Amino acid sequence: MSCHKESKLVAIVDDDDSVRGTLQELLRSAGLPSQGFDSAEAFLGSGRQQETACLITDIRMPGMSGLELQARLNAERCKIPTIFITAHGDEEMRFQALRAGAVEFLPKPFDDEVLIESVRAALDR
Amino acid sequence: MNPSEAMNKSAGSARSIAQRYGLAVASIAVAFGLASALAQFHIPQTFGAFALSAIAVTFWYAGTKPGVLAALLSSVVRDFLFDPQTSTQSRLLFDLVFLVFALLMTQVLRHRNQLELRVAERTAELTQLNENLKREIAKHNQVEAELRLSEAYLAEAQRLSHTGSWAWSPPPGDIRYWSEECFRVQGFDPKGGQPRFDEFLQSVHPDDQARVAEVIQRAVREKEEFEFDYRIIHPGGEIRDARSFGHPILGPSGDLVEYVGTIIDVTERRQAEKERERLREAQADLAHVSRMTAMGELTASLAHEVNQPITAAVNGASTCVRWLTREDPDLGEAREAALGVIRNAKRAADIINRIRSISKKGETKRQLADVNELILEMIALLRSEAKRYSVSVRTELNAQLPKVMADSVQVQQVLMNLIMNAIDAMKDVDRERELTIRSQWADNRMLMISVGDTGVGLPPQQADRIFDAFFTTKLHGIGMGLRISRSIVESHGGRLWAADNSPHGASFHFTLAAPVEVGA
C-alpha cells in the first residue's frame, strides 16, 4: 500500500486535548487547516493517512507511541513527513526519529515560526 | 404455740390458782391452829389478831379474791369453830372488823399494784431509752467507720491521681485544710503541720511566684475562680510541674468565705505530652521524607504534566500574536486565543500548587475533606506517570459520600503511594494495564477507598510482610511507603490492607471514619 499525497492535510496526533487544540488553532492562524487525533490508533483507524501531507505527533501516549506510529507508517510504505513534538525527548530518541525519516524533532514548548516553517516545507515537497 | 405448750400453760395457771386459794385456806388454818394452841395456855382471844395477819398475808401474796376468801373463812372459823358461844353483837363486830380490814387490804393492794405498774412503765421507758442510745451509738460508730473508709479511699484516689485538695480563707484567714496529697505534691513535710499561705508561696519556683500571687489576688478581688500552672521546687531541688484550681465559696450575703480547690502534679503528664509531640514530629518528618522520595521518582512525569499546559499556553500566545500582526488583525480570534492562554497558564499553576502542597512540610492539620476530590487531584498529578507506562486509569467514585475529617496532604500521600505501587506492579506485565480507583461506603460509619491493579500481584508467601518497615520488592525502594501509609491511615482511625485482585494483580483498601452527623 502506498500513499497518494494529493491533498494538503495536516494531521495532529496528541492525547492532550489542550495541546492538540491550541496547535490546531495556531496552524489555522497561519492559514493551515488540520485535523486532530487523540491517539495513534485513532489516526490509523481514520483511514486518512493516505491523504496526510504532514503529520505532527507526540511521542509518549497511552497505547501506541509516536515512534511506533512512524515505524508502522514506514512499514506500510506510507512515508509522511513527520514532525515530532515531545516534552521529554532525549538524544537517542531524536536520532531514532530522524533516522526513520522525521523532518523535525521539537521539544515542547516550541517556537511557532520553526513549526510552521517545517509544516510548510513538508507541504511543499 | 403447740398443743402441749398450751396445756402446760393452762396447767400452770391452774396450779397458780390452787396455790393462791390454798394460801387463803392454809393461812387461816395456821391462824386457827396458833390461836387454839395459845388458848391451851390460857391466852384467849388471839384468833382475831392471827386471822388479820393471815388475811393480810393472803391479800399481799395471793391477791384480792383469795384475800376475800381468807376474810370469809376467818368469820366462819371464828363464829363456828373457835367461839360458837359468843354473842351476836360480838360476832357481828368481828365480821365487821374482818370486812373493813379486807376492804383496807383491797385498797392497799390496789395502790401497790398501781405503784408496781408505774415502776414497770418507768423501767420500760428507761429500757427503751437505753436501747435507743445503744442504737445511736452503733449507728454513730458505723458512720464513723464508713467516713474513715471513705477518707482512706479519697486519700488513695488523691495519691493515684496526684491531686491534693485544700481550703483557704483569704487574709486575714489562712489555709484551713491541706490534704495529705497536697503535702506530697508541694513537697512539704506533714510533720511540720498545716502550712501557711506564705509558706506555700515560698515553695513555688521564684520565677512563678509573682504571677501566682497576682492570679490569686485578682481572683480574690473579683471573687472569681482561679487556675494557674506553676513549678514547685522540692526540698531536694527537684522541679515539678503543677496546676492549681480554686473555687470561691460565698456566704449568703455574697461575701467571700473561702476558696476550695486542688493542686495537681502534672509533671509526668507534661513529659508524656512532650514525648507524644516529639513522636508526632518524627512521624511527620518521616512522612515528609517519604513524600519527597516519591516526588523525586515522579520528577520526569511531573515535569511533563506541567509542560503540557505551558506548551498549550505558548501555542495560544503565538496564535494570538499571529492574529494581531496580520495585515487585517482579527481581534475576535486574538481574544479567543488569549483566553486559552489564561486557561492553560492557570492549569499549569494548579498543577504546581498541587505539587507544592504535597511537598510542603508543615504540622498536620485535620479538616473536612472530600475524598473524591483528593482522588481526582492525585490522578491528575499522576496521569503522566500512568501514561508513561501505558496504564489506563478508571474511577468508580460514589458522589454521595460525606466529607471526612482528615489531613488532605497525608491522605493524598497514601493515595500517591498506592497508585505508584500499582503502576510499578504493572510496568512489566504484557496484559492490559488498568488502574481502578473506587470510593464507597464500607459500612455506615466508614468510607472505603480502593486502588486495584492488573499487575504482578502480591509477593506470594510474603503478603503479610509488605507493610513491614524496610520490606521492598523494588530495586531502588526503601520499603517505607506502605508502612507510613498504614500509620497515616491508622492515625485517622481507619485500616489499610491488601488483597488479591481477580483475575490478576493486587488491590489495596483503606477506610476513613465518616464524621458523626450533627443534628441528623
**Beta sheet of B239-250, edge-to-edge order:** B175-178, B163-168, B256-265, B239-250, B226-233
The total number of residues written for chain B in this structure: 520
The three three-digit cell numbers of residue B162, written as one number? 496526684
The three three-digit cell numbers of residue A68, written as one number? 511506533
Q: What per-residue confidence (pLDDT) applies to B519?
A: 41
Which of B140, B194, B199, B139 minimizes the C-alpha distance to B167? B194
Mean pLDDT of B484-490: 87
Is residue B4 over pLDDT 60?
no
Q: Which residues does chain B have within 8 Å of residue A87's beta carbon, measured at their own beta carbons?
A: 303-304, 307-308, 311
Q: What per-residue confidence (pLDDT) applies to B12?
A: 64
Beta carbon pairs, A and B, within 8 Å: 80
Question: CB-CB: which of A29, A62, A87 is closest to B392?
Answer: A62
Q: What per-residue confidence (pLDDT) applies to B42?
A: 82
Q: What per-residue confidence (pLDDT) applies to A43?
A: 94
Q: What per-residue confidence (pLDDT) applies to B76?
A: 85
Query: Cβ separation of B387 and A61 shorter than 8 Å?
Result: yes
pLDDT confidence bin for A1, thresholds 50/70/90:
very low
pLDDT confidence bin for B520, thresholds 50/70/90:
very low
Question: CB-CB: which of A15, A29, A61 is closest to B323?
Answer: A29
Q: Which residues on neighbouring strands pair with residue B369, listed in sequence order?
A: B404
Query: Cβ separation of B311 and A60 shorter than 8 Å?
Result: no
The three three-digit cell numbers of residue B201, written as one number? 508561696
Q: What per-residue confidence (pLDDT) applies to B82?
A: 72
Across B305-331, b (16+ Cβ under 10 Å) vs e yields bbbbbbbbbbbbbbbbebbbeeeeeee
Q: Which residue of A has its CA nearest to B330?
A: A29
pLDDT, tens digit, for every residue of B290-337?
Answer: 888 888 878 877 888 889 999 999 999 999 999 999 999 999 999 999
Query: Cβ separation of B315 and A16 shorter than 8 Å?
Result: no
Phi, psi for B234 (deg, rounded to 5) = -75, 160
Query: Cβ separation of A18 and B310 shorter than 8 Å?
Result: no
* Distance between CA atoms of residues B420 and B386, nearest Å: 9
Q: Which residue of B has its CA nearest to A112?
A: B318
Q: What per-residue confidence (pLDDT) applies to A93?
A: 84
pLDDT, tens digit, for every residue of B404-461?
Answer: 999 888 899 899 989 988 998 898 888 889 999 999 998 878 999 999 999 988 877 7
The overall average pLDDT reported for chain A is 87
Q: Which residues from B are below 8 Å from A when comparing CB atoms? A: 300, 303-304, 307-316, 318-319, 322-323, 333, 336-337, 340, 343-344, 347, 386-388, 390-392
Tell me which of A26, A59, A106, A114 to substitute to probe the interface with B (most B C-beta atoms closer than 10 Å).
A26
Model confidence pTM above 0.90: no
Helices and strands (DSSP H and E) totals, chain A: 5, 5
pLDDT confidence bin for B474, thresholds 50/70/90:
low
Q: Within the 29-48 window of chain A, which residues sit less than 8 Å (CB to CB) from chain B?
A: 29-30
Mean pLDDT of B173-193: 90
Is residue A94 over pLDDT 90?
no
pLDDT, tens digit, for every residue of A3-54?
Answer: 555 568 899 999 889 999 999 999 999 999 999 999 999 999 998 888 899 9
Q: Which residue of A has its CA nearest to B329?
A: A29
Say which range, A31-45, A57-71, B239-253, has the weakest mean pLDDT. Answer: A57-71
The three three-digit cell numbers of residue B288, written as one number? 515528609
Q: What per-residue confidence (pLDDT) applies to A3?
A: 53
Q: What per-residue confidence (pLDDT) applies to B41?
A: 86
* Distance between CA atoms of residues B263 and B246, nearest Å: 9
Q: Which residues does chain A have within 8 Å of residue B314's beta carbon, measured at their own beta carbons?
A: 109-110, 112
- Kindly give the pairing relationship between strand B404-406 and strand B367-369: antiparallel
Phi, psi for B378 (deg, rounded to 5) = -70, -35
Say which range, A47-61, B11-25, B338-352, B434-448, has the weakest mean pLDDT. Answer: B11-25
Query: Cβ separation of A18 and B318 shorter than 8 Å?
Result: no
pLDDT confidence bin for B143, thresholds 50/70/90:
very high
Query: Cβ separation of B319 and A62 shorter than 8 Å?
Result: no
C-alpha angle B219-B220-B221 in degrees, rounded to nearest 5: 90
Q: Which residues does chain A have within 8 Å of residue B304's beta carbon, measured at their own beta carbons?
A: 60, 87-88
Question: CB-CB: which of A15, A22, A60 is closest to B315?
Answer: A22
* Distance between CA atoms of residues B209 and B214, nearest Å: 9
Q: Which residue of B has its CA nearest to A27?
A: B319
Query: Cβ separation of A87 and B337 shorter than 8 Å?
Result: no
pLDDT, tens digit, for every residue of B247-281?
Answer: 999 999 989 999 999 999 999 989 988 888 888 78
The overall average pLDDT reported for chain B is 87
Give percent above pLDDT 70 in chain A: 94
- The residue ranking higher by pLDDT, B1 or B475, is B475
Which residues lie closer than 8 Å to B488 by C-beta, 6 or more apart?
B287, B407, B410, B411, B413, B414
Q: What per-residue confidence (pLDDT) applies to B210?
A: 94
Q: Which residues does chain B have within 8 Å of residue A15's beta carbon, measured at their own beta carbons?
A: 387
- The residue ranking higher by pLDDT, B382 or B287, is B382
Contact in structure between B362 and B408 (CB atoms under 8 Å): no
Tell me which of A14, A15, A17, A19 to substitute to probe the interface with B (most B C-beta atoms closer than 10 Å).
A19
Is residue B175 over pLDDT 70?
yes
* Distance between CA atoms of residues B117 and A20, nearest Å: 126
Question: CB-CB: which of B303, B304, B308 is closest to A18?
Answer: B308
Q: What per-residue confidence (pLDDT) applies to B473?
A: 67
Q: What per-residue confidence (pLDDT) applies to B310?
A: 95
pLDDT, tens digit, for every residue of B59-96?
Answer: 888 888 888 888 888 888 887 777 677 778 888 888 88
Which residues lie closer than 8 Å to B416 by C-beta, 6 or more apart?
B291, B294, B358, B378, B381, B382
DSSP SS3 for B306: helix
Q: Which residues does chain A have within 8 Å of residue B318's beta carbon, measured at their own beta carbons?
A: 26, 112
